[in-house]
Amino acid sequence: MASSHTRRARLCRTGATGAAAALLLLAGAPSAAAAGIAIPLEPSALAISLYPMENFGEEDFTPVQVQWGGSVVVQLPDGVDATDLTAELLLGEEEAEEPSRIFSTEPSTEMPPPGVLVVTDLGDGELEVEMPVDANLGDSMAILVMEGLTATMTGSELADTGLAYFFELDAAFPATQTVSPAVLVDSSVPCDQYESVCDGIPVTAGDELALSVPPTSALRAAGVGNLADAEVMLLPMDDEEYFHWESVGEEQYVGGELTPELPAETAAEVPPFAAELLAGSAPVTGGAPDAGGASPAAAGVLAADAAPVTAAGHELVEPTLVATGPYAATMTLPADTEAGSHALFISEGDGTPGSRYATTVVFLEVAAAPVVAPAAPVVAMPVNAGLRSDTGWIDDEASGSWPLLATGAGMLLAAGAGGVALARTRRTSGTCAD
């Protein structure tokens, strides 16, 4: 049976020895290279969950309407096998604490009253579920619970919570409805999200992170990992709203309820007998703390009114992810990120029916950015009046004395010419005096 606690992703545990090792790693870690700290997203395991997105209305759980005696076709996503499927359909009144009728693929006399639920495999992942006829019991609210589904994707495990759908039956509703549950893929790096000792990747506030999804990553095998449309969110792990610490022996574990429980006001919209089952179908995603992003939660139950600050007072930080390829992107940790353990949520997908939504959590051990002295303000230097510089000198021998030479020579020539004229005058006068 589905229950919320089974959906809790035990994210990581950090023992005292692990913390010490992390510190050593930090001390010896080289400074970030210009290309950024490479973080390949290669989770060791994927947790697959199926969610009845058609039930997530604007503000509350909305039943899929189908005719009494009609049928519902459940389109299972690729990578999910229904060979070992068992299914139950529970019917009851809106306010009923207990179901009035239960139909099952494995009927039991203990069920009130026993009935056979007919599920037909139509091939290509289509399962046709026959709806019961109206017995005039007023039990028009129905919950379909499907269990035994398995994931066939590499490195993936389908959560044992199964799949639950919420229906409302009436003679006026469509005879056939098709529903396509969304696939949620949860994973984490550098360690598995289940019960593993985890030392966060040592980084420093302000570092650039180079995220990539290698071809061998299980994310690709699950049909996700495209970072081009992904969003990221950074949350300190001391936020008790989303994480909790448990001491087991000498080790300390951190567990994470990545989403709050199904909101009470929403639970009240479904019959009491179905509340627990549907609570298990509340979306559990890493993007949920945001509640304003593109996660299924945002699309449905948790809606868009979430404050940008968590209940613990942490401001939700959403760094910008810059895609450098379909499976590669970079981002910069805010320089003012506080030192300590952080979870970086990488969310992909829009949570529409039949789609795939992935959340990969990267655990980081953040060191505070080194304090850099503020740069001196740039002061424009005053500028002196510019000057021309005639500081070259050409040799007199080469050019500077030629005017003097010409003047001197001219004076000598003039004196010579005058002397000749004076001598001629003397001769003429002598001749005339005689």
Partner 1 sequence: MRGLRRRPGRRTLGAGLTALALAGATVLGVGLSPEPLVGSRALVESPAAPGDLPAAVVAATSGEAPRVVPTSPVHLLVPSVGLDLPLLAHTPRRGVINPPALTAGYWIEPYGVPAADPAAVDNTVYIAAHSAGRGSDGFDPLLSADRRDSAVSAGDLVQVSTPEGTADYTVERTARYDKDDLPDAVEVWEAVPGRLVLITCFQRAGARAATENLVVFAVAS
The distance of closest approach from Cβ of residue 215 to partner 1 in the complex, given in angstroms and rounded to an integer, is 51
What phi, psi does 119 have (nearest 5°)? -120, 125
Which DSSP symbol is given to 229?
G
The span from the CA of 78 to the CA of 217, in Å, is 18
User: How far is 179 from 72, CA to CA, in rounded Å?
Assistant: 7
Supply the minimum distance, in Å, between the C-beta of residue 374 and partner 1.
Answer: 22
Q: Nearest approach, Cβ of 379 to partner 1 (angstroms)? A: 11
Min dist CB 421 to partner 1, Å, is 9
- Give the list of residues 6+ apart from residue 385 with CB closer than 8 angstroms, or none: none
- Contact pick of 422, 427, 428, 434 for partner 1 (by CB under 8 A): 422
* Residue in this structure with the two tokens 């994707």, named with its chain if needed: 153
One of 425, 428, 433, 434 touching partner 1 (CB under 8 A): 425
Element (H, E) at 37: strand 37-40
Q: Which stretch binds partner 1 (CB under 8 A): 75-83, 101-109, 321-329, 421-429?
A: 421-429
Stretch that binds partner 1, among 122-130, 182-190, 232-240, 416-424 (CB under 8 A): 416-424
Residues 145-184 that bind partner 1 (CB under 8 A): none
Q: What's the closest the beta carbon of residue 434 comes to partner 1, in angstroms?
A: 18
Minimum CB distance to partner 1 smaller for 34 or for 393 = 393
Q: What is each CA distance from 88 to 91, 94, 163, in whole angstroms?
A: 10, 18, 11
Cβ closer to partner 1: 17 or 401? Answer: 401
- Least Å from the CB of residue 391 to partner 1: 4
Is the Cβ of residue 5 or residue 388 nearer to partner 1 in the bound state? 388
Burial class (CB in 10 A: 0-12, 13-18, 19+), 83: exposed
Residue whose CB is less far from partner 1, 123 or 386: 386
Which of 249, 419, 432, 433 is in the footprint of partner 1 by CB under 8 A? 419
- How many residues at the interface with partner 1, by CB under 8 A? 40
Sheet order of strands, 101-104 included: 64-66, 163-169, 141-147, 86-92, 101-104
Q: How far is the CB of 406 from partner 1 (least distance, A)?
A: 8
Which of 6-14, 125-133, 210-218, 419-427 is the region at the interface with partner 1 (rule: CB under 8 A)? 419-427
Distance (Å, rounded) from C-alpha 360 to C-alpha 380? Answer: 49
Nearer to partner 1, 84 or 390 (CB): 390
Choice between 110 and 395, CB closer to partner 1: 395
Cβ proximity to partner 1, 264 vs 432, nearer residue: 432
Q: Which tokens in the block code for residue 323? A: 């895609």
Least distance in angstroms from the C-beta of 416 to partner 1: 7
Residue 68 to residue 113: CA distance in whole angstroms: 18
**Contact at 8 Å (CB) between 298 and 51?**
no
Shortest distance, CB of residue 333 to partner 1, whole angstroms?
A: 38
Instruction: Name the residue nearer to partner 1 (CB basis): 27 or 420.
Output: 420
Beta strand residue intervals within 57-140, DSSP E: 64-66, 71-75, 80-81, 86-92, 101-104, 119-123, 126-130
Cα pseudo-dihedral 262, 268, 274, 278, rounded to 10 = -20
Q: Residue 114 in contact with residue 125, Cβ under 8 Å?
A: no
Q: Which is nearer to partner 1, 249 or 419 (CB)?
A: 419
- Smallest gap from Cβ 397 to partner 1, in A, equals 7
If one counts every other C-beta atom within 10 angstroms of the C-beta of residue 303, the result is 18
Q: Which is nearer to partner 1, 378 or 405 (CB)?
A: 405
Instruction: Please report, as residue ranges, which positions from 350 to 409 form the binding site for partner 1 (by CB under 8 A).
Output: 381-405, 407-409
- Residues in the chain, overall count: 434
Reference 132, options 171, 180, 179; nearest CA is: 171
426 binding partner 1? (CB under 8 A): yes
| Side-chain-side CA neighbours of residue 13 (13 Å) | 16
* Tokens at 304, concatenated: 């868009």
Dihedral (C-alpha) 94, 161, 261, 366: value to the nearest 10 degrees? -160
Strand duo 340-348 + 356-367: pairing: antiparallel
Q: Please, what is the minimum distance in Å from the beta carbon of residue 206 to partner 1?
A: 33
Q: Does 428 bind partner 1 (CB under 8 A)?
A: no
Rank residues 35 and 405 by Cβ distance to partner 1 and give the closer one.
405
Point out which span in 17-25, 48-56, 293-301, 418-426 binds partner 1 (CB under 8 A). Answer: 418-426
Contact between 433 and partner 1 by CB under 8 A: the answer reads no
Binding site for partner 1 (CB under 8 A): 381-405, 407-416, 418-419, 422, 425-426
